[in-house]
Amino acid sequence: MLRVAVVRFPGSNCDWDTYHAVAGAGADARFVWHRDTDLQQAEVVILPGGFSYGDYLRSGAIARFSPVMQAVQKHAAAGGAVLGICNGFQILCEAQLLPGALVRNDRLTFVSRPVWVRVERTDTFCTSAYTRGTEMRIPVAHGDGCYVADDDTLRLLEAEGRVVLRYTRGENPNGSVADIAGVCNPAGTVVGFMPHPERYADPVTGSDVGAGFFRSIAAWLPGGTARSTT
Amino acid sequence: MTYRVHIRVVPRAGLLDPQGQAVEHALAALGFEGAGDVRIGRAIELAIDARSADAAEASAREMCERLLANPVTEDYSLVVEA
Amino acid sequence: MTYRVHIRVVPRAGLLDPQGQAVEHALAALGFEGAGDVRIGRAIELAIDARSADAAEASAREMCERLLANPVTEDYSLVVEA
Amino acid sequence: MTAAAPVTRASSFPGERPVTLDVVREHNLTASEFDRIVAMLGRTPTLTELGVFSALWSEHCSYKHSKPVLKRFPTTGPQVVQGPGENAGVLRLPNGWAVAFKIESHNHPSAVEPYQGAATGVGGILRDVFTMGARPVAVLNSLRFGPLSEPRNRYLFAGVVRGVGDYGNCIGVPTLGGEVGFAEGYSGNPLVNAMCVGILRESDLATARAHGVGNVLLNVGAKTGRDGIHGASFASEELSEKSEARRPQVQVGDPFTEKLLLEASLELITSKLIVAIQDMGAAGLTSSSAEMAARGGVGVEIDTGLVPTREAGMTPYEILLSESQERMLVVAEPHQVAAIQAVCRKWELDATPIGHVTDDGLFRVKHHGLTVAEIPGQPLVDDCPVYTPNAREGAAAIARRKARPRRAARVDADEALEALLDTPSIASKRWVYEQYDSTVQASTVLGPGGDAGVLRVATEPFALAVSVDCNNRLVGLDPYEGGKATVAEAARNVACTGAEPLGITDCLNFGNPEKPEVFFQFREACRGISDACVAFGTPVTGGNVSFYNESPTGAVDPTPTVGMVGLLRRAEDRVPSHFRAVGDRIVIVGSSEGAMGGSAYWAELCDFIGGAAPRVDLEHETRLQQFLVAAAAARLLRSAHDCSEGGLAVALAEAAIGGPYADRGFGAVADLRTYAPALSAIEALYGEDQGRVVLSVAPAALPGLRAMLTRHGLQGYLAGEVRAPGGELEIVLPEGVHRWPVDRLRAVYDDAIPRRMRGISTDRPEA
Ligand SMILES: Nc1ncnc2c1ncn2[C@@H]1O[C@H](COP(=O)(O)OP(=O)(O)O)[C@@H](O)[C@H]1O
Ligand SMILES: [Mg+2]
């Protein structure tokens, strides 16, 4: 069974949701406390959503100095898979494991609603269950979700196909440049995005279109290439 | 003349400043010793067209009173540059 | 010695500042004429125990580089007071 | 009264002012209340003691004007695990689970500082629920403001919504529903009521009853500052220019610390490390320690010198009365202290021993050893004088019920629907609830935008439905019928989703109870609530009274908000409120006499609030609820929507407009020619008769539905059908056909609040 570490920072609040979605997809989910530096030999590390350290100063700015982040950096440097969802994405940007930054929504208010996103890349460890171009509605819930990066970075992201998720159908909820909802590192092993697929992983919550992200993870072959499960 | 005004709006003394507290802890955890009493507020910069520096300052003060600072929870201070 | 450090962290020029824009509109709606180019950032104040003002400033700069400002989106400036 | 010998001993804290009658008055205590205190102590109280009394004998803590009325609420039932008296009420659910819930007001703090006032209101109610050992799973909010045409009201509205959102969002508790109303009477005194719902294993239920002589009191959580000193007595006086000046220093919320406190508290409770726990809410350390001791029939001794403070030099008076947020008082056996501190340390919190349980029944406070207060504990909490003010209905109120509008509506019958959908009280509240995280915890079955929020419980098959309601216009017109209507609407909202109403919590927002017409409203509204709760079998498990909601222009509309919790046996049976499929039949249950009294039509379009309030037939309401629950369980319903403000036309329009994220609304036709043949168009369309719902039903389910209606002694009226998206809402009346393009209705409904709030700074007051 593929082992997945879900990191809990003080202020994480999607930790259990993510844990259940991972376990529900058939992977071996483990919590790792932010003060631990042992990732329990996890093949995939997930930084879940929430308000680590209250999102004080800047979202993710304080969490990135947590002891566990050294282990995450090492894991990522060795080619290990890391997924940041919402606050996790913010932490990955602050830690410079992903380029760019997430700043306050252009509407200046928190936004909580389902939005349309398109899967732009399916050869990563967490998107292989989808076909390229799949559009689905997934909840977002954030105050600082506006993705920004300098022009060179943006050009590079587009040229290398590193935009993993994009807002579509005119539903960019936060002013993100180029409708970017999620990006990855050059190898596609570190991924971050704002939408919360774990909230749409069970039909009783209205939809289970997000379950594919977790099925992708559970079916991932570390070291090998991602295989399609659809 | 156009003046550049720098305004600083900070939580009033005695009021809890959770953000300042969190940053204080983070600085300590990063090994910065001797840092304390952290308060976090807003820095506002703007350009004001006015006849004199005094006029610019008066105008900026009024902006603070009416819009930029919350009189219940915040104090402000400002500097006018030519 | 304890030094008081005032830090100003503002969105990098060229970056969109929706909050600054909103305030600019609100000022215009309140009838403030000649106010423009509003930028909004964070004001951070803290006390630093250091041997000299230079040491306090060096320490504060390092805090900004490592934690207080995001190098991707923000610029900072600081003033040290005795 | 003169006393022979002091009953207890305490010394003034150095520098404290002597207690004079002026000082007594400043503390909001009357001369006779002061006499009672002197008699109880056998001496003049110290200033510290006076502060303690003023807090515990404030309206907010003592319920001195409401107790006798509240005693008449039904509070028992087979489902009740914990009735009123603890931090929150608790009801039994299947499979060993229970639900804890409570609602509370934060009106006065929000009037002064809307953002922090609302945020700390949410923080307080969350603590009430997790101190019961329950994990908060939903927040709801009920809000009232003056009209949005006033800049100050827009600022208050924006700030309150942001405050509610920021706190709940950060903690990670979904805000699943609420209501917002706007009326002149709330200008200057907005209402901010927050409700929290939590889930627990019944076996983990915690209490706030101190016991065990020698047990240790621990202060857990944030440090104590000078914030909100005298908040409880502040909440117990009218807002005036003067209160602006003497307002307590604003309390600032720290949801991050609260999240840590939540996790630590639940860990302490479920690992059975503690004896009792209570949050430090109104009147902070004073009320938490005195109330916990009184409940357990023991004494307590605390040393305020041991309480961690944020500022140097705080006096025992300040420490006792501070309302700094995110603090808990825990009682534990001495040998558990180290283990408790270890749990707290893990969550980055301090847990500091500050006192112990004693056997002398006294509430004793020391400061570094000096006894600054010593008061008999039970009388301190229980012997506040109780008042039963005069109750008399105002002549104006009686006249209003007999009156009719003096002028016609400013629009015709067709335009009226758009005008009503454009009314902020009726319009879509998306602008509000999109600022609230409504899907965190991944348990949201039905989010905001329908009749009630529905959430699943852990991995159980069942779910909970939650709603808060109050039709303040009806209560103002006829407090008894309005009280009934408020409970009925809450129950109907819950039942529309298919859930069986289980019990309520209430937040009674009224003006100054010393005014006979206000006390009349209060007493009668409570009688209405009681009667409805008895009829529905939904006991009152707790609540909150907020009096003195007055501004310089008078009392607010009486607003007894009811929070209802219901049980949906199978989550997947949940019934949404909007039309879902072309060809479905539209069925109306409940009849109409064209009740215009207190209607939104009269209020919004004729500027007239009056007429006879519609009578609530509790027997019919009960059958309607039971029918809705049974029909949902039998999967007969595609949608169910309650008829409330704006009447049948608004209910049909809302069902047709669709859910907030529907791509497009549906067309619909409803032929009312035989439903209400004798009514005028206005009465048929906009009358607000109680006890009505609009259903949509698959054609194949119609026979089953008919049988189900008959079984419950109800009549259904087959009015029409759901038509293709992009079409019209067509209502056929004896005098003609009315048509509205649904896309147009939807645009008006969606934009009503945003267009009024465009460009409003949520950060700071507008000038
Ligand atoms: N303050 C609020 N917070 C969250 N949701 C709200 C709020 N106000 C209204 N809503 C949601 O909007 C929907 C419609 O509210 P309302 O018009 O009051 O419903 P009804 O009249 O049917 O009770 C409900 O789902 C309600 O939960
Ligand atoms: Mg409504």
pLDDT at D731 over 70: yes
Query: Which 3 state secondary structure label does DSSP give A178?
Result: helix
**CA D755, D761, D766 angle in degrees (round to 5)?**
100
Residue type, D121: G
Q: What is the pLDDT of residues B25-55, one digit of tens each?
A: 999 999 998 899 999 999 999 999 999 999 9
Distance D487 CA to ligand 2 centre (A): 15
Q: Out of C15-19, D331-335, D371-375, which region has the weakest mean confidence (pLDDT)?
A: C15-19
Q: What is the pLDDT of residues A81-98, one digit of tens each?
A: 999 999 999 999 999 999
Note whether D255 and D115 are within 8 A (CB).
no
* Higher local confidence (pLDDT), D244 or D665: D665
Q: Centre a 10 Å sphere on the Cβ of residue D723 and count the other Cβ atoms it contains.
A: 20
- Mean pLDDT score of chain D: 94
D437 lines ligand 1 (CB under 6 A): no
Q: Centre a 10 Å sphere on the Cβ of residue A79 and count the other Cβ atoms it contains.
A: 11
Could you tell me the pTM of the whole model? 0.95
> What local confidence, expressed as pLDDT, does residue D227 receive?
82
- DSSP-derived secondary structure letter, B51: S
Interface contact C63-B32, CB threshold 8 A: yes
Closest residue by CA, ligand 1 atom 17: D426
Note whether D596 and D687 are within 8 A (CB).
yes
CA atoms within 13 A on the CB side of D453: 31
Interface contact C22-D761, CB threshold 8 A: yes
- DSSP-derived secondary structure letter, D340: H
Among all chains, which residue has been given the structure tokens 């990006």?
Answer: A183
| Mean pLDDT score, D719-743 | 97
Cβ neighbours of A56 in D, within 8 Å: 256
Q: Centre a 10 Å sphere on the Cβ of residue B70 and count the other Cβ atoms it contains.
A: 20
Among all chains, which residue has been given the structure tokens 């039932």?
Answer: D77
Q: Which of D467, D469, D479, D468 is nearest to D510 (CA)?
A: D479
Distances in Å between the Cα of D610 and the Cα atoms of D18, D186, D398 are: 53, 18, 10
State the angle between helix axes of D284-296 and D47-56 in degrees (0 to 180), rounded to the nearest 10: 70
Q: What is the pLDDT of residues A179-207, one digit of tens each?
A: 999 999 999 999 999 999 999 999 999 99
Q: What is the pLDDT of residues D118-140, one digit of tens each?
A: 999 999 999 999 999 999 999 99
> What local confidence, expressed as pLDDT, does residue D233 receive?
58
Query: In sequence order, what are the residues at sequence separation of 6 or more whose Cβ sits closer than 8 angstroms to the Cβ of residue D267?
Result: D343, D347
| Mean pLDDT score, D488-499 | 98
Q: How far apart are CA D680 and CA B34, in angstroms?
A: 78
Cβ neighbours of D765 in B, within 8 Å: 66-67, 70-71
* Phi, psi values for residue D220, rounded to 5°: -115, 135
Q: State the ligand closest to the CA atom of D643.
A: 1
Selected residue of A34, A110, A207 to mutate for chain D interface (largest D Cβ count, 10 A): A110
Q: What is the pLDDT of residues D416-452, one digit of tens each?
A: 999 999 999 999 999 999 999 999 999 999 999 999 9
**Residue D60 falls in the annotated catalytic set:** yes
Query: In sequence order, what are the residues at sequence separation of 6 or more whose Cβ sits closer than 8 angstroms to the Cβ of residue A83?
Result: A44, A45, A46, A47, A125, A126, A190, A191, A192, A213, A217
> What local confidence, expressed as pLDDT, does residue D111 receive?
93
The DSSP line for A68-120 is: HHHHHHHHHHTT-EEEEETHHHHHHHHTTSSSSEEE--TTSS-EEEEEEEEE-
pLDDT band at D248 (very low <50, low <70, confident <90, very high): low
Q: Which of D220, D212, D229 is nearest to D48 (CA)?
A: D229
Q: Centre a 10 Å sphere on the Cβ of residue A161 and count the other Cβ atoms it contains.
A: 12
What's the full length of chain A, in residues?
Answer: 230
Q: How far apart are CA A179 and CA A157, in angstroms?
A: 13
Closest residue by CA, ligand 1 atom 20: D451
pLDDT at D347 over 80: yes
Q: Which of D188, D383, D405, D211 is nearest to D300 (CA)?
A: D211
> What local confidence, expressed as pLDDT, does residue D17 receive?
87
The b-or-e profile of D114-146 (16+ CB within 10 A means b, else e) is bbbbbbbbbbbbbbbbbbbbbbbbbbbbbbbbb
Note whether A68 and A37 are within 8 A (CB).
yes
Cβ neighbours of B21 in D, within 8 Å: 254
pLDDT band at D3 (very low <50, low <70, confident <90, very high): very low
Selected residue of C23, C73, C75, C76 to mutate for chain A interface (largest A Cβ count, 10 A): C73
Q: Centre a 10 Å sphere on the Cβ of residue C65 and count the other Cβ atoms it contains.
A: 11
The percent of residues above 70 in pLDDT, for chain A, comes to: 97
Q: Which of B21, B73, C17 is nearest to D159 (CA)?
A: B73
pLDDT at C73 over 80: yes
Among all chains, which residue has been given the structure tokens 């049988």?
Answer: D707
| Mean pLDDT score, D392-410 | 93
* CA closest to D166 among chain A residues: A110
Residue A222, judged by CB atoms within 10 A of its CB (0-12, 13-18, 19+), counts as: middle
Among all chains, which residue has been given the structure tokens 């953000």?
Answer: B19
**Number of domains within chain C:** 1
Q: What is the pLDDT of residues D26-72, one digit of tens each?
A: 899 999 999 999 999 999 999 999 999 999 999 888 899 999 999 99
Interface contact C10-B49, CB threshold 8 A: no
* Phi, psi values for residue D299, rounded to 5°: -100, 165
Query: Which 3 state secondary structure label does DSSP give D469?
Result: strand
Q: What is the pLDDT of residues D550-603, one digit of tens each?
A: 987 889 999 999 999 999 999 999 999 999 999 999 999 999 999 999 999 999
Q: How far apart are CA D39 and CA D45, in angstroms?
A: 10
Nearest CB among C18, C42, C73 relative to A106 is that of C18
**Residue D106 falls in the annotated catalytic set:** yes
| Mean pLDDT score, D173-177 | 97
Tokens of D179: 């209501």
Which CATH number belongs to the domain containing residue B52 in this structure? 3.30.1280.10
Helices (H), ranges, D461-506:
472-477, 479-496
pLDDT at D688 over 80: yes
D688 lines ligand 1 (CB under 6 A): no
Note whether D664 and D743 are within 8 A (CB).
yes
Interface size B-D, in CB pairs within 8 Å, comes to 50
> What local confidence, expressed as pLDDT, does residue D242 receive?
52
Residue type, C57: E
The percent of residues above 90 in pLDDT, for chain D, comes to: 88
Q: How far apart are CA D176 and CA D463, in angstroms?
A: 13
pLDDT band at D281 (very low <50, low <70, confident <90, very high): confident
**Residue B57 C-alpha, separation from nearest chain A C-alpha, in angstroms:** 28
Closest atom of ligand 1 to CA, residue D450: 25
Candidates D27, D106, D356, D367; catalytic one:
D106
Closest residue by CA, ligand 1 atom 9: D179
Note whether B2 and B47 are within 8 A (CB).
yes
Q: Which domain holds residue B23?
A: 2-81
* Phi, psi values for residue D142, rounded to 5°: -120, 120
Give the CATH number of domain A3-218: 3.40.50.880
Q: Integer distance in angstroms from the first to the last C-alpha of chain D? A: 53
State the angle between helix axes of D413-421 and D742-757 in degrees (0 to 180), rounded to the nearest 10: 50
Q: Out of D235-244, D499-508, D586-595, which region has the weakest mean confidence (pLDDT)?
A: D235-244
D121 lines ligand 1 (CB under 6 A): no
Interface contact A108-C19, CB threshold 8 A: yes
Interface contact C18-A93, CB threshold 8 A: no
Q: Which of A93, A91, A98 is nearest to A7 (CA)?
A: A91
Q: What is the pLDDT of residues C22-45, one digit of tens each?
A: 999 999 988 898 899 999 999 999
CA torsion D616-D618-D619-D620 (nearest 10°) is: 50
Query: In sequence order, what are the residues at sequence separation of 6 or more whose Cβ sits closer than 8 angstroms to the Cβ of residue D659?
Result: D449, D450, D576, D577, D578
Note whether A11 and A88 are within 8 A (CB).
no
Residues of C numbered 3-62 whose beta carbons fall under 8 angstroms of chain A's beta carbons: which are they? Answer: 11, 15-16, 18-19, 22, 42
| Mean pLDDT score, B12-24 | 92
The b-or-e profile of D245-282 (16+ CB within 10 A means b, else e) is eebbbbbbbbbbbbbbbbbbbbebbeeebbbbbbbbbb
pLDDT at B23 over 80: yes
For C80, the enclosing helix (H) or strand (E) is strand C74-81
Query: In sequence order, what are the residues at sequence separation of 6 or more whose Cβ sits closer than 8 angstroms to the Cβ of residue D600?
Result: D420, D423, D425, D426, D473, D645, D646, D647, D650, D686, D688
Cβ neighbours of B16 in D, within 8 Å: 222, 225, 227, 251-252, 254, 310, 324-325
**CA D48, D54, D55 angle in degrees (round to 5)?**
95
Tokens of D296: 């357990």
pLDDT at A228 over 50: no
pLDDT at C68 over 70: yes
Note whether D130 and D136 are within 8 A (CB).
yes
Helices (H), ranges, chain A:
15-24, 67-77, 87-94, 151-159, 211-218
CA atoms within 13 A on the CB side of D111: 26
| Mean pLDDT score, A101-122 | 96
D659 lines ligand 1 (CB under 6 A): no
